[in-house]
Chain A
Amino acid sequence: SYVLTQPPSVSVAPGETARITCGGINIGARNVHWYQQKPGQAPILVIYYDSERPSGIPERFSGSNSGNTATLTISRAEAGDEADYYCQVWESSSDHFVFGSGTKLTVL
């Protein structure tokens, strides 16, 4: 099945830009969604279809997808952005969803 690879952790200073990657073979040809999950809570959709933001998600969150890497970018990082982030794609050939392994974002 399709494999999505994320770095286990990313650190960023407050006010700086965090970039979380999601690697997959020709992932640029797929639609990528991103979720934020804080401890003890259900995930929240923060980016869908590579770069679309749901209502209520700050403009600081953006996404891109090309080639073999999709990227979630969090500008002007805040302490409240500390969370685990997961990428997700739909594998149409098998009619299955796949999640990335997750990245823990630390705002130092």
Chain B
Amino acid sequence: QVQLVQSGAEVKKPGASVKISCKASGYTFTNYHLHWVRQAPGQGLEWMGIYSPSGGNTQYAQKFQGRITLTGDTSTSTAYMEMSSLRSDDTATYFCAKDVAGSRGYPFDYWGQGTLVTVPS
């Protein structure tokens, strides 16, 4: 069965960086895009960007452009989201999610369990 298993919770100081992993199993990693979505405490979902394992292509939401880097390792079927210059308002749960059909615009059918990143003020 399809699974996306994310790395554990992180506590980071302001100005630091964090790198979260998302290990995929149960499907062909290179056939589908992986998206990253974050959710601040008590807030809604916010799309951050997309990573295409087949060619390594990425697209970032304008808000995060220059501050996040999406990468992956096809040998381990793992995607990564790295965010730099952390601020207190980056405190959130970060999700990876697989799309349905490996093309732009398709919805997300499987999600990771989420990774809580806390940046104390």
Q: Which chain A residues have a beta carbon within 8 Å of chain B's beta carbons?
A: 1, 31, 33, 35, 37, 42-45, 48-49, 54, 84, 86, 88, 90, 92, 94-102
0/1 interface trace, chain B 31-54, chain A, CB 8 Å (1 if under):
000010100000011110010000
Q: How far is the CB of A51 from chain B (nearest CB, A)?
A: 13
Most buried by A among B50, B61, B62, B105: B105
Which residues 1-50 of B sit at the A interface, judged by CB distance below 8 A?
Answer: 35, 37, 44-47, 50
Asked if B72 is at the interface (CB within 8 A of a chain A CB), the reply is no
Contact A90:B104 (CB < 8 A) given known A96-B59, A99-B45, A102-B45: yes
Residues of B within 8 A of A101 (CB): 44
Q: How far is the CB of B96 from chain A (nearest CB, A)?
A: 10
Asked if B102 is at the interface (CB within 8 A of a chain A CB), the reply is no
Count of chain A to chain B residue pairs whose CB atoms are closer than 8 Å in the complex: 57
Residues of B within 8 A of A99 (CB): 37, 44-47
Top 8 A-B pairs, shortest CB-CB distance = A90-B105, A42-B111, A33-B107, A97-B47, A102-B44, A99-B45, A48-B107, A95-B59
* Bound CA–CA A37/B35 (angstroms): 17
What is the number of residues of chain B that contact chain A, defined by CB distance less than 8 Å? 22
* Bound CA–CA A66/B63 (angstroms): 29
Q: Which chain B residues have a beta carbon within 8 Å of chain A's beta carbons?
A: 35, 37, 44-47, 50, 59, 61-62, 95, 97, 100, 104-105, 107-109, 111-114
11 CB-based A-B contacts, threshold 8 Å: A1-B62, A35-B45, A42-B113, A42-B114, A48-B100, A54-B109, A90-B104, A90-B105, A96-B59, A96-B61, A102-B44
* Bound CA–CA A83/B112 (angstroms): 18
Q: How far is the CB of A86 from chain B (nearest CB, A)?
A: 5
* Bound CA–CA A98/B109 (angstroms): 16
